[in-house]
Amino acid sequence: MSSPTFPSAIEISCGPVTAVDLALYAAASGDLNPLHLDDGVARKAGFDQPLVHGMLTMAYVARLFTQTFGSGALLALNTRFIGAAKRGDTLVLSARLGACDDNSALYHVRGTTGAGSEVVSGSARVRLGQASPATAAQITP
């Protein structure tokens, strides 16, 4: 499915996610869970690196849409975390057009690590006519 105003597919790549990214997100969000920040805690929990905050992953998904359609275009975002991203991973976020009308579109979302492990799925509804979209297809935080 495609539309003259809504692209059939969009994608961005965010990362690699650094310790600074995780620390800044933790400070801004108040989520100071050491599983996201401390190598030793992550190892004790069975991970080789601290985990990326799920809500940081969701923020990157939102960026996929705001960078493409503009800052006020995202009407709804539904996500399901189906895996874990770790510090050092690059997140590859993509969306395929599911349905659209003259003013809004529904996209199906998929997010993986650069290695192909699935981390997030979901959907988003966006509208046209909001702040200017970015022209870059690849975004690096």
pTM of the model: 0.86
pLDDT interval class at 139 (50, 70, 90): very low
**What is d(CA 21, CA 16) in angstroms, rounded to the nearest whole number?**
9
- Residue 132: predicted pLDDT: 47
Q: What is the pLDDT of residue 138?
A: 42
Residue 118 has pLDDT above 80, yes or no: yes
State which amino acid sits at residue 110: R
CA terminus-to-terminus distance, the chain: 30
- Non-local (6+) Cβ contacts of 101 within 8 A are none
* Residue with more model confidence, 136 or 131: 131
As a whole number, mean pLDDT of residues 25-51 equals 97
